[in-house]
């Protein structure tokens, strides 16, 4: 079956530090890949997505590249802000069912 | 703004007392989902509706039921809540099924406490 593995949190950084949150996946076939973000007290919202190998998704300074050879979709940001503090979920969508599979989420805490 | 709304945001019920959680959407999306999310875990899909077509996940307990009376509303009924059912329940929608419509839109969630 499909699965998504994320690095355990919390990840604690100072403002303006570089962020990497690792995500690897197992899937039969050729999935679409997503990062969702959940701010405190809110629902999940789509941050970025990629639908084929070597595609780069980007939004709000965050980037992730679909790496088929390493089955990875790591999230990066060059300079984090306090307002980026949230829980980040990596997910994949199987092209057969289009039902997403989520990772456990990684909490990011950014200090001023 | 078009959105996914969940009510209530916090629900307290007693062990064994039926409870209903509600979700509404103004996006006019065809697909609606219910997820259960426990602390530090991935959201777990319970079931979804494609229009009126109900799709139950194989490992969703019979204690969980759902109704979708129209496009806009979807309800989660827990017939006899146990202590293990305490969790955040997330409602989500997607425009359709297929590669061009696989982004999900989530509500803020309902946190259920079982006493």
B28-78 tens-digit pLDDT:
999 999 999 998 788 999 999 999 999 998 899 999 999 999 999 999 999
Across the interface, whether the CB atoms of A99 and B45 are under 8 A apart is answered yes
Across the interface, whether the CB atoms of B103 and A44 are under 8 A apart is answered no
Question: Torsions phi, psi of A82, nearest 5?
Answer: -55, -35
Judge whether B86 and B12 are in contact, CB under 8 Å: no
- Chain B partners of A47 at a C-beta cutoff of 8 Å? none
Residue of B nearest to A52 (CA): B99
B25, β-bridge pairs: B4
Nearest CA to B37 out of B102, B114, B91, B76 is that of B91
Cα separation values, A24 from A3, A71, A77, Å: 9, 6, 18
- Sorting pLDDT into bands at 50, 70 and 90, what band is B108? very high
- Kindly report the average pLDDT of chain B as a whole number: 92
- Kindly report the average pLDDT of chain A as a whole number: 93
Across the interface, whether the CB atoms of B43 and A32 are under 8 A apart is answered no
Across the interface, whether the CB atoms of B102 and A32 are under 8 A apart is answered yes
- Chain A partners of B98 at a C-beta cutoff of 8 Å? 98
- The residues, any chain, with a CB within 8 Å of residue A29's CB and separated by 6 or more, are A94, A95, A96
Q: Å from B21 to nearest chain A CA?
A: 15
Q: Kindly state the DSSP code that residue A96 receives in the 8-state scheme.
A: T
Q: Å from A18 to nearest chain B CA?
A: 24
- Chain A partners of B92 at a C-beta cutoff of 8 Å? 43-44
Residue scoring higher pLDDT (A61 or A29) = A61
A99 token code pair: 């039902």
């Amino acid at each position: 079956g499909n699965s998504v593995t994320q690095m355990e949190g919390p990840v604690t950084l100072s403002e303006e530090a570089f962020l990497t949150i690792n995500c690897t996946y197992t899937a039969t076939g050729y999935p679409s890949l997503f990062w969702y973000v959940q701010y405190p007290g809110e629902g999940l919202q789509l941050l970025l997505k990629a639908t084929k190998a070597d595609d780069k998704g980007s939004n709000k300074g965050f980037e992730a590249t679909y790496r088929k050879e390493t089955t990875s979709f790591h999230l990066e940001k060059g300079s984090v802000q306090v307002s980026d503090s949230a829980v980040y979920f990596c997910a994949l969508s199987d092209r057969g069912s289009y039902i997403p599979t989520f990772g456990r989420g990684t909490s990011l805490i950014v200090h001023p | 703004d078009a959105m996914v709304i969940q009510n209530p945001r916090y629900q307290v019920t007693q062990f064994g007392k039926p409870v209903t959680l509600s979700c509404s959407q103004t996006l006019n999306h065809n697909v609606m989902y219910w997820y259960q999310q426990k602390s530090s875990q991935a959201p777990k899909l319970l079931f979804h509706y494609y229009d009126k077509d109900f799709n139950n996940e194989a490992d969703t307990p019979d204690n969980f039921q759902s109704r979708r009376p129209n496009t806009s509303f979807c309800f989660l009924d827990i017939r006899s809540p146990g202590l293990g059912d305490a969790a955040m329940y997330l409602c989500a929608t997607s425009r359709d099924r297929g590669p061009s419509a696989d982004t999900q839109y989530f509500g803020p969630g309902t946190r259920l406490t079982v006493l």
